Structure 1
Amino acid sequence: MVEDRVTDGKRIAQLLSSELSGRDRGTLGDVAVVDADPDAEPSPEGTVAYGVEFRDERVGTVRIYPEAATLTVSHRTDAVTEAVREEAARAGRDGGLAVTEDDAVRIESGAAVKRAVDALVAGLTAED
């Protein structure tokens, strides 16, 4: 059996959106996808696909590229950004995730989406 690996940035962002908005309990119960642009197309510079809110506060932006999606966390404390970066770097050793120079979490496959969500949750719970 051959398994297809999802490496299209737009599809990765869609999978991430589903993971972020599909839960109603725990930390993810307080997360929402906002300002989604259904017409956004991947570009080499990165196109903003949607924002991420936590408890009605904007905490991140998802951009799409031809071969990946990125989640940039922008929060009022460095502890959140640091926790996201550390968790993404740890998870990235298993493949599919990387932390860019500007602290964005680069998601290179559909299989890495759950690890990216885990990184975001680690950051959001760093303040609790």
Structure 2
Amino acid sequence: MVEERLTDGRRIAQFLASEVTGHEDDLGSLVVTDADADVEPTPDGAFAYAIERRPAGGRRTADEQRSDEGSTERVASVYVQPDRVRVEFERAVDAVADAADEAGLRVRPKAVEPPRTLVFVEDGAQVKWLLSALGTVATAVEE
């Protein structure tokens, strides 16, 4: 039996990005943007990339979407810490909190205006647990 766990924050962030871009069905409206390929983890969390939602329609690459000014909205930001990833959700924060909590992830509200939900992903296996929260924000009704 394999006892290894993926607990490197940078690797977890890379795995999460590949899950977002690789799920054409449930997460087809999400795209990774503003990625910092050279991000170095910090204790407070270094910005790694944004997750944006595109309007209904065909899936396009991140470069194509960036060229369409105003065609996407940021729904989450991903921050890399040495031993985990912090995903800061900006949309559908209550529904995301419920979905992530039900999946067994550590969730915390962020008391800012507008409110945000923080979800902590502490190993590679938990990336799969985050998919339900990402699905929630991918299909959330425009506010």
Which residue pairs with 2:34 in the alignment?
35
Give the Cα separation in 2 of the matches to 1:16 and 1:38. 14
Contact 2:75 2:137 in 1 (8 A): no
Deviations 1:68-93 (A, max 9, x none): 00111112xxxx1101001111111x
Residues 98-122 of structure 1: CA deviation (Å, up to 9, x unaligned):
1124221100110000111211212
SS at match of 1:105: strand
CA pair 101-29 structure 1, distance change in 2 beyond 3 A: closer
Letter paired with 1:2: V
Q: Do 2:27 and 2:138's aligned partners in 1 also have CA atoms closer than 8 Å?
A: no
Residue from 108, 111, 119 that aligns with 1:100: 108
Aligned length: 119
Q: TM-score, normalised by structure 1?
A: 0.86
Superposed CA RMSD: 1.5
The reply to whether residue 82 of structure 1 matches residue 94 of structure 2 is: yes
Q: Which residue matches 1:73?
A: 89
Structure 1: gaps of 5 or more residues: none
| Residues 35, 50 of structure 2: 8 Å contact kept | yes
Unaligned runs of 5+ residues in structure 2 are 55-71, 111-116
Q: Once the two structures are aligned, what percentage of the paired residues are identical?
A: 44
Larger CA Rg, structure 1 vs 2: 2
CA contact (8 A) 1:46 1:64 kept: yes
SS in 1 for 2:43: coil
Superposed CA deviations along residues 6-61 of structure 1, whole A, max 9, x for unmatched, are: 01111110010000011223x41111000000110111010000000111211110
**Residues in 2 aligned to 1:14 and 1:3: alpha-carbon distance in whole angstroms:** 21
Q: Which residue of 2 aligns with 1:7?
A: 7
